[in-house]
Structure 1
Amino acid sequence: MNLRRLLLLSQVPFWALLVAAFVLLSSTLDARVQATERADQTRARLVSVAQVMQHVVDLETGLRGYVITGEPRFLDPYNAAQVALPQALAALELGSSDQDGSLGRIRALIGRWQNEVAAPELLARQSSAAAAAALVKTGRGKAILDEIRTQVERYSAGQAASLAELEAVASAQLRRLRLTLLGVGGVALLASLLATLFSAHKLSSSFGRFTAAVRRVSEGEDGVQVEDRGSVEMHVLARAFNHMSGALTLAQQEAAMRADELTARNDWMAQLGDFGDWMQAARSLDEGARILECALPELLPGTRGTLLQHNASRNLLLPLATWGGETGVATPPDGCWALRRGEIVSPGADRLAPACLGGPGGTYTCVPLFSHGETLGIMRLRPAVEGQELPEALRALLPGIVRQVSLALAGLRLQDRLLQQSIRDPLTGLFNRRRLEDELAAQTAHAAASGQPLSLIALDVDHFKRLNDTFGHDAGDAALVRLSAALRDMAPPGSTPARPGGEEFSLLLPGYDLVAATALAERLRAEIAGWALTHAGIALGQITVSLGVAGYAPPLSTPDALVRAADEALYSAKRQGRNRVVEAAPLHPEAWLTLTPG
């Protein structure tokens, strides 16, 4: 007899007992669950009827507050209860048989109170407080509310009695379930113990000799063999053990050989970890490129190549780093099979397509760089000595290197994107207040040191609130976006167009004196005044701006003083009728004292 049949026969009584126990437990558990569900439904109805009564109280409270004060805000609980009450009644009636008609009477009484009491009092209070008070004094509302409370209490009492009965049934079912579990568990434990003892006795006698043989092997003895006898499984196990014992010596020899390979790989992994640490310390793609040019020759010895970064806006692969004397050349990404297929493409590999359609041809191994579904670029490499092939060991290292490079490049690109998000206004794409303040500090310091002119234009959209109120915020946002585009187009190189907030814009102009800045502001004002903007097919009318221009006058001016002077000029333009450019007065000591908060 084989071991499987022996074990199966020993477990048959135990399985039969389990089936019977399962049937008994299932029936007991079903009864318990049904009793519990009925009790839960009754509790839910008690909660629902309490909510209905609370809504009725809110109706009466809100009505009384309004009748007494005449202020509409006292109707807030009344209005809220009117909305919630139908839902609460529907939830209460759902699943309720309402055999004695209590719920129907409650709903009818609430309807009577709303129609015969609430509606007349609300109407009367709109005429006069005295008329409403007269209706209240009739006591009709109180009588109906008392009847509602009586019906609710009667319904709640019935449900509470039903809940007590259901909980008693559920408790009885729980006691029965506990007794059943104890009985079934005890019998199952006893049956399992007997079956286990029987099986253990049979198996221990068979496996005892294997235990002794394994102990001898663990102590280092060679050539250990086990006698081939017993059940079919024991015969198979003995032959397998004897084969394993013979192969163990060969495995130990192979392990010693691989230990050297593992040591070399560990050294390489440590080097790769150092590379990752250096890349994490980089703060820009330029820094990362310099690190790559130093690290890749060490990580990929005996190679030369180029790492190209994917520029999505230009749809080009641009050289980021080179090593081994290679020269990077920008290429379109569409011609690279490695990027198309998302896998490494090696020269000379069997394939049904020609080499890359663009770039240096088929002598390179092309490795695509991806991270989180984003195409980062490609690494092209080849042996440093022409005519040779990349060693197989080096090919095996490529995925690990590419993974580190991809993660590092993705992190650096993310840093760059986050930097742009932190200094850009999300609606217009112009610089935000934070970047403007940084540029003001830097440019005023430069102007003070070099003596070069510096000007600031402050711009504000005229009647922007009216535009928003008339045409909506979407139209206002569209106008701001169009204005920011004009400001960006007219901003000279080196200037800082910014949106400090709302409908306010600024243009910081290094190298521009007050006259040149005023001329630029006038051109900007004239262009905007000539627009005929539409949004969603609706003409927005003429949009104008008021502009204030201030010039830096060291050493008495500071960034704050320059901003205040431009703002004062802007306010002057507003006071003079808007749609105009006003120059700020030169910043003399007296003006500085005026602009400095005291």
Structure 2
Amino acid sequence: MFASLSARIYALGALVLLALASFAAILVDSSRQAGEAVQWANHSSAVIETTQIALNQLRSAESGTRGYILTRSPTFATSFDEAVNNADLNIGRVVAMTRDNPAQYGRAQELAKLIKDRCEMLRQSVDLGRRDDFSKAQAKIANGQGRELMDAVLVRTRNFLDNERALQSSRTEAVNERLRWTEGLTLGGAGLVALLVVIGFLLLIRGIDRPLAAVLRVMTDLGNGQRSARIGEAMGSREFSELAQSYNAMANQLERAVADQVSSETQLQEANAELQRNSETLRQRGGVIEMLGGMAHRMQAARTDDELAQIIRVFVPRVLPGIPGALYAHNNSRNLLIPIAGWGGMEADKEGFAPEQCWALRRGQSHFLREVGSDIVCSHADPDEIYHCEPLLAGGEVIGVLYLHGTVEDETRFRLTVLAENIASALVNHRLQRSLREQTIRDPLTGLFNRRYMEETLTLEIARATRSGVPLSVVMCDIDHFKRFNDEFGHDAGDAVLQAVAAELKKQFRSGDVICRFGGEEFTIIAPGTTAQVLMDRVEQVRQAVGEITVRQKGRTLGLISMSFGIASWASGMDGNGEALIQAADVALYQAKREGRNRVIVNGTVA
């Protein structure tokens, strides 16, 4: 009939007022005694609640300690101090509140001592952390003493609360007995009115007792760590239903907060581990980039293939430790990959290989075998080995290839990619420098060294001959009656004759001799370490070989070719720039011309 507990109370109050009007004196005395009993029951409730608060604060201190030791966050240490102080304060209140009961007072003192001991142990761990000695703090937490002490606290708390709840029940029962005694008096003295009052009180007590017991039971379960405990049964009144809903909402928020805390701790640990991994990766990559920077500077400064190979052999094993391999550079004129350098005990194929033999160059991307038979094998590789080919490309043009023996793991890909880019850039620069140098020192028509290079080389060879005393000779020669080739057949024919003669000179002279086009149809050969007399026999062979050249141009034969040669050797009285030596060889050449051409003359004053 009455959905609201308030309405029930109002109705019961009306009946009580009627009863009080008849039996005021009896009810005043009874109410006084009942009030005292209720105060004692409330006193027990306060003791239970304060004890549970102290226990929860101790648990919070434990959680703050673990959070601070594991995450080293000062926030956890701050919450620990607050929780420990509050736990000490509340357990002290419990001790004070139980002075009226010697048995409970003794239990409270024992519990207070255990809590203080546990708080002191937690303070020691936190103090170690604050002194930045987290390893000892973690060891102290992990040794199990804290858990044993906490178990003792929980046992003593449960025993203390059980006794206090029993006391509370007896005091509540005393209240009920007082009420029943009053009801009996009322029934005996007031008849039907008293009976109605008793019935009303019984209904009211039943409407309060049942939901109150449900609330206390669930709160006890929550206090014991059962975060999923909820009030599910009907409360029988609007007020208790609202209280149950509020409690359930609070418990849900608490459960989410605890779950969020656990999740945050897990995420924090994962983020910290990821940060450490990323930091180590960045540190390693920074070292690699710094090393590659030094390598790049040296490769840009290299002037010869030998210097470039030496740089590769020194730096690549440091960038790719434990991975032997070889560098091949693309030779455009031969369309071959020519070995530059090998490292890690690997010997490069001296013959090289064609670009189409490498699948990395054909595909324009990395090609590798991590196990035999897992992919197509490059023709230049051993089919029974694990290898990796990294193409070196620039602007779509093949620059070279890195051939590595073994497996390149994923964490090494960054090093390999940056290394390949640096080497490709250096090879392009090296090729460009060599091309530019060739253009400055080579005659574009014949491919021989030009006059400028001849003058520089002659100066260096004279300085070397001066220091070591080794002989040095020079040959001046030109093509006899060269003008008639231009006049009869055109300048294209003259160019063809010059190219044929230049090719024969390169074929006949030693690799250490420097063959130059002096100008027009004149040529100069610098022969270090050779006297004029020894050189004369070789030059005679050259003269005969030139005479056997047959040049065809546009389907016609241009006729016989002959050359005149003048030889001179350097003497200590000559100047250091070679002008006197060139002049002496030129004098011998003119003498050969005067004596009928197609002959070899050694300068008599010099030889």
- Structure 1-normalised TM-score? 0.50
State how 1:94-173 maps to structure 2 within 5 Å.
Answer: none
Distance 2:379 2:600 in 1: 57
Residue in structure 1 matched with residue 201 of structure 2 by the alignment = none
Q: Cα deviation per residue 1:225-263 (whole Å; 9 max; x = unaligned)? A: xxxxxxxxxxxxxxxxxxxxxx9x989959957862545
Distance 2:598 2:539 in 1: 11
Distance 1:397 1:278 in 2: 18
Distance 2:550 2:332 in 1: 35
Residue in structure 1 matched with residue 459 of structure 2 by the alignment = 441
Cα shift at 1:317: 4.0
Q: Cα deviation per residue 1:324-345 (whole Å; 9 max; x = unaligned)? A: 3333334524432222222111
Paired residue type of 1:576: E
Distance 2:276 2:523 in 1: 71
**Secondary structure of the structure 2 residue equivalent to 1:487:** helix
Residue in structure 2 matched with residue 413 of structure 1 by the alignment = 431
Of 369, 382, 403 in structure 2, the residue corresponding to residue 347 of structure 1 is 369
Instruction: Tell me whether 1:560 sits opposite 2:566 in the alignment.
Output: no
Checking the alignment, whether the CA contact within 8 Å between 2:496 and 2:551 is kept in structure 1 is no
**Secondary structure of the structure 2 residue equivalent to 1:346:** strand
Distance 2:475 2:343 in 1: 48
Instruction: Tell me whether 1:332 sits opposite 2:353 in the alignment.
Output: yes
Residue in structure 2 matched with residue 370 of structure 1 by the alignment = 393
Cα shift at 1:371: 2.3
Identity %: 40
Shift in alpha-carbon separation, 1:433–1:352, aligned structure 2, 3 A: same
Instruction: Tell me whether 1:491 sits opposite 2:512 in the alignment.
Output: no
Q: Cα deviation per residue 1:461-497 (whole Å; 9 max; x = unaligned)? A: 2232332122111000000011111211221342121
**Secondary structure of the structure 2 residue equivalent to 1:475:** helix
Distance 1:398 1:492 in 2: 43
Q: Cα deviation per residue 1:122-145 (whole Å; 9 max; x = unaligned)? A: xxxxxxxxxxxxxxxxxxxxxxxx
Gaps of 5+ in 2: 1-263
Shift in alpha-carbon separation, 1:459–1:339, aligned structure 2, 3 A: same
Instruction: Tell me whether 1:525 sits opposite 2:546 in the alignment.
Output: no
Residue in structure 1 matched with residue 602 of structure 2 by the alignment = 583
Residue in structure 2 matched with residue 50 of structure 1 by the alignment = none
Gaps of 5+ in 1: 1-246, 384-388, 589-598
Shift in alpha-carbon separation, 1:455–1:305, aligned structure 2, 3 A: closer
Instruction: Tell me whether 1:551 sits opposite 2:569 in the alignment.
Output: yes
Checking the alignment, whether the CA contact within 8 Å between 2:567 and 2:603 is kept in structure 1 is yes
Residue in structure 1 matched with residue 318 of structure 2 by the alignment = 298
Distance 2:605 2:473 in 1: 11
Shift in alpha-carbon separation, 1:452–1:316, aligned structure 2, 3 A: same
Larger displacement relative to structure 2 (370-379 or 477-486): 370-379
Q: Cα deviation per residue 1:121-171 (whole Å; 9 max; x = unaligned)? A: xxxxxxxxxxxxxxxxxxxxxxxxxxxxxxxxxxxxxxxxxxxxxxxxxxx
**Secondary structure of the structure 1 residue equivalent to 2:369:** coil
4+ residue runs of structure 1 moved beyond 6 angstroms?
Answer: 249-252, 349-352
Q: Cα deviation per residue 1:415-448 (whole Å; 9 max; x = unaligned)? A: 2333333222111111111222223223333333
- Superposition RMSD in Å: 3.4
Shift in alpha-carbon separation, 1:526–1:268, aligned structure 2, 3 A: closer
Residue in structure 2 matched with residue 26 of structure 1 by the alignment = none
**Secondary structure of the structure 1 residue equivalent to 2:593:** helix
Q: Cα deviation per residue 1:106-135 (whole Å; 9 max; x = unaligned)? A: xxxxxxxxxxxxxxxxxxxxxxxxxxxxxx
Shift in alpha-carbon separation, 1:422–1:393, aligned structure 2, 3 A: same
Shift in alpha-carbon separation, 1:269–1:466, aligned structure 2, 3 A: same
Distance 2:408 2:332 in 1: 31
Distance 1:283 1:529 in 2: 39
Residue in structure 2 matched with residue 4 of structure 1 by the alignment = none
Checking the alignment, whether the CA contact within 8 Å between 1:285 and 1:409 is kept in structure 2 is no
Distance 1:450 1:259 in 2: 61
- Structure 2-normalised TM-score? 0.50
Of 443, 446, 464 in structure 2, the residue corresponding to residue 428 of structure 1 is 446
**Secondary structure of the structure 1 residue equivalent to 2:342:** strand
Checking the alignment, whether the CA contact within 8 Å between 2:370 and 2:387 is kept in structure 1 is no
Q: Cα deviation per residue 1:507-552 (whole Å; 9 max; x = unaligned)? A: 2223333333333333333443454533212333333322222222
Checking the alignment, whether the CA contact within 8 Å between 1:447 and 1:554 is kept in structure 2 is no
**Secondary structure of the structure 1 residue equivalent to 2:598:** coil
State how 1:103-502 maps to structure 2 within 5 Å.
Answer: 260=279, 261-262=281-282, 264-312=284-332, 316-330=336-350, 331-333=352-354, 334-348=356-370, 353-361=375-383, 362-382=385-405, 390-502=408-520
Cα shift at 1:302: 4.4
Shift in alpha-carbon separation, 1:346–1:435, aligned structure 2, 3 A: same
Paired residue type of 1:458: M
